Chains A and B, each alone.
Chain A
């Protein structure tokens, strides 16, 4: 089952395993410049507010009700990243593993393929948590992604419109598969804890009701981020017990008209953020192997490239930045690591 708790999608699989719990939060962030350069990871600037579509049935497109799921507000040309968390299980000394499929406009963000309700092994069309702590965009090349950036559906910029030539779905689609219970218990058996010595230290803008609400996600600037190869066996995943959710993206300008609540403020630009010398991030996992990028996704035009072809200026602020203050994050050290901007 999926619940919406504190603006996060919380997936639980009580039929599979009582500890199988996974949450996804949608992080606001800077839009990195779409200038042909490769950038490090931008910070998290807080979570997008999230609502059940069913609670606003009379104010949203009927198709959203048909899809079910939830909705978030995004400004045009605003960026986002997904943060994954499956919670540390002390008794097993690990996090419960999950396979996660992510699509935008029903185009797979890892392979560029069209949506299917099953996992595909070759090419791998999913991410694996906890190995993959986050996803910032489309996997365009081994070790590189293009950032998820919101553009109005129908404007031609979204990955969906570029690949299918249609503007049918928009939003984001998420599907989560837990590891099979027996595989989890075998791979990560409960560990007998020894009593420890007593002296051990454990400090370890005004709403515009006439605007169309539907936003799609389009490929923005390039960023260094690896999508990791599945370290488990493909048959370890419990494909009988998946859960999925459609995440609709409403233009922030109409969010208030729909929900009577203000959307978050316009985020900082990368230029403003970088001017203050605030941190960017790089993530390393020495033991993980990255998947090859998708040629199909690599052929997509970035928003700036598409804008030039159309004679438009879709990104009002796109100044290159130096991003010199880089904090290195390593896997397996999560407790001390926070990918957040502090200002």
Chain B
């Protein structure tokens, strides 16, 4: 899982770098506050630890969804952990029940603006 995280980061960063040099390894690492060599190791899967704060900063820098990067790194954001901690049985059941639903069905559970009878 975490090796995939590194590969995903590298792929996204390199894609952005094609058009813009500010997405070089050195510049991205500098913006999120880590050493370039450390980011390089993360991308190659040689280093696995990156804090939630740094992952969110990296996601924002690469225009990716922080929750997606956190999930790829095997982490769950603190706010979601807090939600689950309050009602662990209920949310564990909810997530298991939803796991096989198609995206469209899950999207319906996300809050939509309801249309009615005009």
Contacts and interface: CB of A to CB of B under 8 A. Distances in A.
Contacts of B96: none
Nearest to A196: B19
B112 A246 contact: no
Nearest to B107: A1
B117 to A, nearest CB: 5
A69 interface: yes
A60 interface: no
B115 interface: yes
B116 A3 contact: no
Interface in A1-24: 1-4, 9, 14-15
Contact of A14 (B20, B107, B116, B117): B107
A333 B112 CA distance: 33
B80 interface: no
B113 A4 contact: yes
Interface in A85-116: 106, 115
Interface in B75-118: 103-104, 107-108, 110-118
A106 B113 contact: no
A246 B118 contact: yes
Contact of A69 (B18, B21, B108, B113): B113
A2 B118 contact: no
A3 B118 contact: no
Interface residues of B, number: 18
Contact of B114 (A9, A68, A169, A202): A68
A1 B112 contact: yes
Given A66-B116, A246-B116, A246-B118, A3 B19 contact: no
Most chain A beta-carbon contacts within 10 A, residue among B18, B108, B111: B111
Nearest to A171: B118
B22 interface: yes
Contacts of B104: 14-15
Contact of B118 (A15, A67, A70): A67
A115 to B, nearest CB: 7
Most chain A beta-carbon contacts within 10 A, residue among B18, B20, B21, B114: B114
A2 B107 contact: no
Contacts of B117: 66-68
Contact of A9 (B20, B113, B116): B113
Contacts of B116: 65-69, 246
A193 B18 contact: yes
Nearest to B111: A3
Interface string A203-220: 000000000000000000
Contact of A106 (B19, B21, B107, B118): B118
A3 B21 contact: no
B22 A14 contact: no
Most chain B beta-carbon contacts within 10 A, residue among A9, A15, A169, A246: A246
Interface string A172-194: 01000000000000000000010
Interface in A47-79: 52, 54, 65-70
B27 to A, nearest CB: 12
B18 A195 contact: yes
A3 B110 contact: yes
B107 A245 contact: no
A233 interface: no
Contacts of A202: 20, 22
A271 interface: no
A196 B118 CA distance: 53
A247 B98 CA distance: 32
Contacts of B103: 14
A312 interface: no
15 contacts: A1-B108, A1-B110, A1-B112, A2-B113, A3-B110, A14-B103, A15-B104, A52-B111, A52-B113, A65-B116, A67-B116, A70-B113, A196-B19, A198-B21, A202-B22
Interface of B: 18-22, 103-104, 107-108, 110-118
Given A69-B116, A106-B118, A195-B18, 18 more contacts: A1-B107, A1-B112, A2-B113, A3-B111, A3-B113, A9-B113, A15-B104, A52-B111, A54-B114, A66-B116, A68-B115, A115-B118, A169-B118, A193-B18, A198-B21, A244-B115, A245-B115, A246-B115
